[in-house]
Amino acid sequence: MIGIGLVILSFLAYQSVRAKRKGKKQFEVFYASNLNSEISSITVSVGGVYFRLSNDSTQYVFFPRTSDVNGNTIFEHIAERGDLLVKKSYADTLKLVKEDKVYLYTFQKIE
């Protein structure tokens, strides 16, 4: 029984490490990216906000922060296909342009 428990714990630990590595890699891609295009797809899960842009087939993942900067508006609640996303390489902030209104989102750094 204890052996099974240890196996399960080891498995979960491995999955956690694997997820972290994946998250770090995803963040590095997102952080380095220079974005300036419309959203073509967007989904959300515990792994973050996943989106693609109309001029790019890459799937980007990030963890937007809901804060006073964006009027405490949750990113995935308003972001839709067709909205413009703007972020420069290694910038700390992403701009969501929606119907001429700009929302700013900082994001969690995965290090």
Q: Which is nearer to another protein, 13 or 55 (CB)?
A: 13
Instruction: State whether the Cα torsion 24-62-49-9 is positive or negative.
Output: positive
Whose structure tokens read 């099974």?
Answer: 4
Decide: is 81 part of the binding site for another protein (CB under 8 A): no
Rounded to the nearest whole angstrom, what is the least distance from the CB of residue 56 to another protein in the complex? 18
Radius of gyration of the chain (CA): 17
**Interaction residues for another protein, span 47-76 (CB under 8 A):** 47-50, 61, 63, 65-69, 72-74, 76
Q: At a CB cut-off of 8 Å and minimum separation 6, what does 48 contact?
A: 23, 26, 61, 62, 63
- Which residues are at the interface with another protein (CB under 8 A)? 8, 11-12, 15-16, 18-20, 22-24, 26, 32, 43-50, 61, 63, 65-69, 72-74, 76-77, 87-94, 102, 104, 106, 108, 110
